[in-house]
Structure 1
Amino acid sequence: MSQYKIVIDSCGELPEDLKADGHFCTVPLLLDVDGYQITDDETFNQRDFLQRVKACIHSPKSSCPSPERYMRAYEGEAEHVYVVTLSGKLSGSYNSAVLAADLYHEEHEDSKQIHVFNSKSASIGETLIGLKIQELEESGASFEEIVTEVESYISSMNTFFVIETLETLRKAGRLSGLKAFVANTLNIKPVMGSTKEGTIQQLGQARGMKKALSKMVEDMFKVTKNCENRVLAISHCNCPERAQFVKDTIEKVAKFKKIVIVNTAGVSSMYANEGGVILSV
């Protein structure tokens, strides 16, 4: 069996077992809160970050990894390198990773095969794609088969989220065509989701967090078939009890192959803000 490596930008949260699995490698984005620079890697301190974001005057920003940073991640023994990035519509991470693959091939004579997947998602959507790649590699599928199968898996995926406030997304210009909500006083929570192109859309809204989370689960079930064959992932920004509520609500209705829960890393913490919950399947 070939040696393989799965490179994921740091918007994709890795559960502890995958961090310890030698096949996975994270390439960090950089975060900027009012000029204070934070690398979204294992040094990321979520509590400190959320406090800084709360106090900041300008919107926090993220910048994608450089092609050089990606190139370093491609080096090593692995013959097959699979790269999973944030949606190309939301970040320059995908373009940077593709450019890095071209530069790598120009500079190296080896027969390493590299494919960059545009997740058309973010956060644990990227994690699920990484898990799918690993499952196929371990089953002995060829590089070409894996690329085809994973691209088809990406087009079948959906990501949903409910967050306390859309301010960061709005300020960062990530909400194209969406009205910024003036409904905070009424405790109206929007339910958001990914589009097939990898942008963000509003699916609905509900009054109060619990109702919004229940509506998100309802929306997920409307578009998810063959639950027992699918892995579902939930990431939360410092609100494990909300993630658990979502998991319990889902398990009352259907049985999934596996449900993974993780705490958001830096980029997702920045956009989800404290209390946000993301669901991907």
Structure 2
Amino acid sequence: MDYRLIVDTACDLTKEMEEDYKILSVPFKIDIDEREYVDDENLDIDGFLNAMKNSPNPIRTSCPAPFDYLEKMKECEEEIILILTISSKLSGSYNSAIVARDEYLEECPNSKVFVLDSKSAAAGETLVALEILSVMSEEGTVEEKIEKIEKYIDNNHTFFILESLDNLIKNGRIKKTAGLIANVLNIRPIMVAEDGEISLYEMNRGFKKSLTKLATAIGKFGDDFSNRTLVISHVDAIEKAKDFEKRVKELYNFGKILILQSRGLSSGYADNGGIVIGFN
């Protein structure tokens, strides 16, 4: 079945993955002080992370506009287009894609365009993208495949471990005094995506302890992972990602484990040193 997949850049992918699977990415824009960063293949991620660390101000993000999605759809020769976005509860990206879809179908009424809310971000959204590629290669109608993908999304699990609380403090998500105390006490929270929203899962002292606790927590969601994939995305923290992979392999039999560097948007919220995992 000929189709094209479009994602926003909350989906952590490498350039090679985009090229191999012919995935089109629609970038977020991220402002740090007076400078705008476009979350595309030209983003200097090291420079971006340094600017974020050195700024006393919170980052400001802008989701793709309907026009941005529309332009990507016009690049597609395929009549079936799937658009995957970050959780609609975290961003307006999903709504932009809906508006763009409706406009596109007015111009191309013979096409079929499906907009999917990943109810996740970063590694979690990447996991859904990989499932889309798998399901779309199977037999069946596109409507049957979309239904299967949506069920997969509802059973997806995304967790974050934060090395730094700086961005949460800057964005007012936690009080500055509480954040500073947490940093002094070496508190490293585990966060979880629940129905598309981010909430606190567990607080631990030390990043390694949080890694161990998170690896153990995976066991609550099953015992046979041989047909499942684990995606680990990290913010300039490859050694932590490999450490987590090692811990997971000691406990479970995941069929595939994929480690990726986070793109700009995910890096902006997971912050330097953070990791995000997604599994089903």
Letter in 1 for 2:56: I
Counterparts in 2 of 1:26 and 1:188: CA distance versus 1, 3 Å: same
Alignment of 1:52-91 (within 5 A): 52-75=51-74, 76-91=76-91
Which whole-Å CA distance do the structure 2 matches of 1:172 and 1:95 have between them? 23
Letter in 2 for 1:125: G
Question: Does the CA contact (< 8 Å) of 2:224 and 2:252 recur in 1?
Answer: no
Which whole-Å CA distance do the structure 2 matches of 1:258 and 1:174 have between them? 34
Counterparts in 2 of 1:173 and 1:257: CA distance versus 1, 3 Å: farther
Hey, what does 1:242 align to over in structure 2? 240
Counterparts in 2 of 1:268 and 1:21: CA distance versus 1, 3 Å: same
State yes or no: 1:40 paired with 2:53.
no
Question: Does the CA contact (< 8 Å) of 1:160 and 1:220 recur in 2?
Answer: no
User: Could you report, residue by residue, the CA deviation over 1:55-78 in whole angstroms, capped at 9, with x for unpaired residues?
Assistant: 112101111000011011122211
TM-score (norm 1): 0.93
1:206 Cα shift?
Answer: 1.2
Alignment of 1:101-250 (within 5 A): 101-109=101-109, 111-169=110-168, 171-172=170-171, 182-195=181-194, 197-224=195-222, 226-250=224-248
SS in 2 for 1:229: coil
Counterparts in 2 of 1:165 and 1:254: CA distance versus 1, 3 Å: same
Worse-superposed segment, 19-28 or 29-38: 19-28
Question: Does the CA contact (< 8 Å) of 2:160 and 2:275 recur in 1?
Answer: yes
Which whole-Å CA distance do the structure 1 matches of 2:11 and 2:201 have between them? 23
Which whole-Å CA distance do the structure 1 matches of 2:23 and 2:253 have between them? 27
Counterparts in 2 of 1:4 and 1:199: CA distance versus 1, 3 Å: same
Which whole-Å CA distance do the structure 2 matches of 1:68 and 1:38 have between them? 18
Counterparts in 2 of 1:22 and 1:132: CA distance versus 1, 3 Å: closer
SS in 2 for 1:241: helix
Q: Give aligned pairs, total.
A: 275
User: Could you report, residue by residue, the CA deviation over 1:219-256 in whole angstroms, capped at 9, with x for unpaired residues?
Assistant: 22212454111111000000100000010000001111
Identify unmatched segments of 5+ residues in structure 2.
none
Which whole-Å CA distance do the structure 1 matches of 2:220 and 2:90 have between them? 25
What is the RMSD computed on CA atoms of the aligned residues?
A: 1.7
SS in 1 for 2:226: helix
Q: Percent identity?
A: 35
1:174 Cα shift?
Answer: 6.3
TM-score (norm 2): 0.93
1:27 Cα shift?
Answer: 0.5
Letter in 1 for 2:104: Y
